[in-house]
């Protein structure tokens, strides 16, 4: 295990339209923090970088719904997320944000270089446009049917059901998330990164070059994308929230969030380096730097195809050494969903379980979705805490510290005539830094954690072996007890050091009990490269060293605590059943005069016929009381022509005419969606005469 390696470790930028949940932690932030802590302990030069991803349509939608500005929204969640990470013990060297001045400057410069070098394709294309909202519809402003899996609630940039990324124009039966209308195609100019030009290089670099050291799930997804054929991808969008495109003639356009966000790693590194007096370029442009991206599987295409293509096009940056992406974590056998509030939110966990950060870190690592989707349950959380942390690790440490203080007034005893059994345990201890380290070097965090617990199990077996328990021998063979307690203290010290990446708060308590912290008089020093010290021939805790009193490492989690969490989830289910999730956000505020311009009146459908060669459009003749007119509506999948004839409806009579498939529609019929997504009419009373106005 070499030292002084330089690492740039990035963790996926959390999106600031909501807080962080356990799925994010298990898939990205806990393994990234474990690896960063481990490398620091080995003496490596580490830049652990993250930050808030603050641009994109979901933020504008949520801000609009809440009646605040996008900046106010991201400021709120940037603080919630940052504070939660800090309290949880995620040790970012720098946590930036993509709304910062440095990021805007860095992203603009990156785009400009690629633009000046001729790396983009400039095209006028047809994009989805909502005439009523009078704006182009970027990714999350469009909802429709996924062209791959058939999910009817896919977003315009990605399907959350199958994980496929696509363009909004690929959706089947798209709808505007602003008005609910079917959008139309309209020409607009954008700049594209020609990913197809990088296909051969990506195949050679990743699929062939990293076939043995990258995870199978990552290689599989990359290979699938390349096999299906890469296509040019827009790097700009029509939107007013984001980084303005730094090109003449690009008014009203910003950098696409997928292009701008990964550059956030670079801009955050710049901010960190300026603060610490370092050269940021060493961490992004030197060949002896290992660049690692910790992400979830929904980000594989961005970090293994798009961002590398951007870096390659730029020409000055190193390529990722690895992208150890994880799969998804489910909650109580159901997919975690922010829109359905089906999640365990980090900030709420910290409130409900104060001082128990490491319990969650332990359970999420033990259940890490490294090779396939995994599941978190509160019962398993309780069982792992009570049966593994309390009964194994906590039990061993408590016995050792309590007995040392009881028998020797907290002084590490001298040894004499160590038995073979004692020597074997001391030898085993020295092997664990490499054993655990080898697993971490291969990004097998579950395996590494299990090895740490194996070390604790060795201690339990050693101290409680039949006939050799120190509490039974202390009066008959005090010399042997001294040897036993000395060995146990060495093992406890090894646990204090080696547990730091996994259980940092527990490690801190252990070091405090063992008097290893600088705040104590003449402590035993554990240097920054303490990982390798465990394998040295020097005692980890020398004889005559004074330790402190024992304190509780872990406490049992009672049934009542688990029941409270399960009841919270049941309440979420009930709330979801009683409301319609993913409602369209409230539109911009209007006034009374504008409302009165709308001529809403009662009508009656006289005839109805499905438009030929379409699935959705129905052509109807409607008696509005003032005339009989043609209205075309996208309701054919919800109603048959026969059941429409004779139905009373509410009509927006003075809507400007609009041609749909060559047929002029002269008005709009008002409908709404029920919780199952079925359209229902906004019905007047049957007794109301045709033409009656609605005020």
DSSP characters over 65-83: HHTS-HHHHHHHHHHHHHH
Residue 548 reports pLDDT greater than 80: yes
Question: Cβ neighbours of residue 76 under 8 Å, at least 6 residues apart?
Answer: none
CA atoms of 138 and 578, how far apart (whole Å) = 30
Four-point Cα dihedral 279, 285, 286, 289, nearest 10: 90
Taking every pair of Cα atoms in the chain, the longest distance, rounded to a whole number of angstroms, is 109
Judge whether residue 14 has pLDDT over 90.
Answer: yes
| Alpha-carbon span 30 to 44, nearest angstrom | 19
554 in Cβ contact with 382 (< 8 Å): no
**Average pLDDT of span 262-291:** 97
The mean pLDDT value for 502-516 works out to 96
Measured over the CA atoms of residue 272, residue 277, residue 278 and residue 281, the dihedral's sign is: positive
Q: 373 pLDDT exceeds 60?
A: yes
Question: How confident is residue 68, by pLDDT bands cut at 50, 70 and 90?
Answer: very high
Spatial CA neighbour of 260 closest among 243, 283, 277, 238: 243
Residue 581 in this model has a pLDDT that exceeds 50: no
Report, as an integer, the average pLDDT of 51-80: 91
- State the pLDDT confidence band at 338, using cuts at 50, 70 and 90: confident
> 482 and 411 in contact (C-beta within 8 Å)?
no
- For 32-41, 232-241, 573-582, which range has the lowest pLDDT when averaged over its residues? 573-582
Mean pLDDT computed over 21-44: 97
Q: Which pLDDT does position 224 carry in this prediction?
A: 94
For the CA atoms of the chain, what is the radius of gyration?
A: 31
Report, as an integer, the average pLDDT of 686-693: 80
- Is the pLDDT at 223 greater than 70? The verdict is yes
pLDDT band at 356 (very low <50, low <70, confident <90, very high): very high
- Please write the tens of the pLDDT for every residue from 85-116: 999 999 999 999 999 999 999 999 999 999 99
Instruction: Report the relative pairing of strands 233-234 and 184-193 from DSSP bridges.
Output: antiparallel
pLDDT at 589 over 70: no
Predicted pLDDT of residue 297: 93
State residue 520's pLDDT score.
Answer: 34
Q: Are 618 and 609 in contact (CB under 8 A)?
A: yes
Position 528 pLDDT exceeds 60:
no
pLDDT classification of 596: cutoffs 50, 70, 90: confident
- pLDDT reading at 630 higher than 60: yes
Which DSSP helix (H) or strand (E) runs through 402? helix 395-408
Structure tokens at 558: 């009672």
pLDDT over threshold 80, residue 3: no
pTM: predicted TM-score of the whole model, two decimal places: 0.81
What percent of the chain stands above pLDDT 90? 71
Residue-level pLDDT at 694: 82
State yes or no: pLDDT of 286 exceeds 60: yes
Q: Which residues pair with 190 in a beta bridge?
A: 123
What tokens does 457 get?
């199990």
> CA-CA distance, 463 to 474, in Å (whole number)?
13
Least confident of 25-34, 80-89, 161-170, 489-498: 161-170
Assess whether pLDDT exceeds 80 at residue 464.
yes
Answer yes or no: is pLDDT of 611 > 50: yes
Q: Which residues pair with residue 50 across a beta bridge?
A: 95
Give the per-residue pLDDT at 34: 98
Sorting pLDDT into bands at 50, 70 and 90, what band is 519? very low
Are residues 57 and 100 in contact, defined by beta-carbon separation less than 8 angstroms? no
Query: Quick one: average pLDDT of 139-166?
Result: 81
Q: What is the mean pLDDT of the chain?
A: 91
Helix or strand holding residue 186 (H, E): strand 184-193
Instruction: Summarize pLDDT for 652-670 with one digit per residue, the tens.
Output: 999 888 888 889 999 999 9
């Amino acid at each position: 295990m070499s030292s002084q390696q330089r690492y740039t470790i990035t963790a996926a930028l959390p999106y600031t339209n909501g807080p962080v949940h356990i799925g994010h932690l298990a898939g990205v932030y806990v393994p990234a923090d474990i690896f960063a802590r481990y490398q620091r302990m080995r003496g490596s030069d580490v830049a652990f970088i993250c930050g808030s991803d603050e641009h994109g349509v979901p933020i504008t939608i949520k801000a609009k719904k809440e009646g605040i500005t996008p900046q106010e929204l991201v400021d709120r969640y940037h603080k919630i997320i940052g504070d939660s990470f800090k309290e949880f013990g995620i040790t970012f060297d720098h946590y930036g944000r993509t709304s910062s001045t440095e990021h805007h400057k860095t992203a603009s410069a990156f785009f400009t270089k690629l633009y000046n070098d001729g790396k983009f394709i400039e095209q006028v294309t047809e994009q989805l446009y909502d005439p009523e909202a009078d704006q182009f519809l970027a990714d999350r402003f469009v909802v429709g049917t996924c062209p791959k899996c058939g999910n009817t609630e896919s977003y315009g940039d990605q399907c959350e059901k199958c994980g496929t990324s696509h363009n909004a124009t690929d959706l089947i039966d798209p709808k505007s998330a602003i008005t609910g209308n079917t959008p139309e195609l309209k020409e607009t100019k954008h700049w594209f990164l020609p990913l197809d030009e990088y296909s051969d290089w990506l195949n050679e670099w990743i699929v062939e070059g990293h076939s043995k050291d990258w995870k199978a799930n990552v290689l599989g997804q990359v290979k699938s994308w390349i096999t299906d054929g890469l296509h040019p991808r827009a790097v700009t969008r029509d939107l007013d929230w984001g980084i303005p495109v730094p090109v003449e003639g690009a008014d009203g356009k910003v950098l696409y969030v997928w292009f701008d966000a990964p550059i956030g790693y670079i801009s955050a590194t710049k901010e960190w380096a300026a603060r610490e007096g370092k050269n940021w370029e060493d961490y992004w442009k030197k060949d002896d730097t290992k660049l690692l991206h910790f992400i979830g599987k929904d980000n594989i295409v961005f970090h293994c195809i798009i961002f590398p293509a951007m870096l390659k096009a730029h020409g000055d940056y190193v390529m990722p050494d690895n992208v150890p992406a994880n799969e998804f974590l489910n909650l109580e056998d159901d997919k975690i969903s922010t829109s359905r509030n089906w999640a365990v939110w980090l900030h709420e966990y910290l409130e409900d379980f104060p001082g128990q950060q490491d319990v969650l870190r332990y359970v999420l690592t033990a259940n890490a979705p490294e090779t396939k989707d995994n599941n978190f349950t509160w019962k398993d959380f309780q069982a792992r805490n009570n049966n593994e942390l309390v009964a194994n690790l906590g039990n061993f440490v408590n016995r050792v510290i309590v007995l040392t203080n009881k028998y020797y007034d907290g002084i590490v005893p001298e040894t004499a005539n160590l038995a073979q059994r004692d020597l074997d345990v001391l030898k085993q201890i020295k092997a664990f830094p490499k054993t655990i380290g080898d697993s971490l070097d291969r990004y097998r965090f579950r395996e590494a954690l299990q090895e740490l617990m194996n070390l604790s199990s060795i201690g339990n077996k050693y101290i409680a072996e039949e006939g050799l328990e120190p509490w039974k021998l202390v009066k008959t063979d005090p010399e042997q007890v001294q040897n036993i307690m000395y060995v146990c203290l060495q093992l406890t010290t090894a646990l204090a050091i080696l547990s730091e990446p996994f259980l940092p708060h527990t490690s801190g308590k252990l070091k405090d009990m063992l008097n290893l912290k600088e705040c104590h008089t003449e402590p035993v020093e554990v240097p920054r490269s303490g990982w390798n010290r465990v394998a040295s021939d020097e005692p980890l805790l020398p004889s005559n060293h004074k330790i402190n009193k024992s304190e509780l490492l872990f406490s049992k989690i009672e049934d009542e605590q688990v029941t409270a969490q399960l009841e919270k989830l049941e309440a979420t289910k009930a709330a979801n059943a009683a409301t319609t999730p993913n409602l369209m956000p409230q539109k911009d505020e209007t006034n009374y005069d504008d409302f009165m311009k709308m001529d809403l009146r009662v009508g009656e459908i006289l005839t109805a016929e499905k438009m030929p060669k379409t699935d959705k459009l129905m052509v109807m003749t409607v008696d509005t009381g003032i005339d009989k007119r043609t209205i075309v509506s996208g309701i054919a999948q919800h109603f048959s022509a026969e059941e429409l004839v004779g139905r009373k409806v509410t009509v927006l009579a003075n809507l400007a005419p609009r041609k749909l498939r060559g047929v002029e529609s002269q008005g709009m019929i008002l409908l709404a969606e029920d919780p199952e997504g079925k359209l229902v009419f906004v019905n007047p009373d049957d007794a109301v005469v045709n033409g009656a106005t609605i005020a």
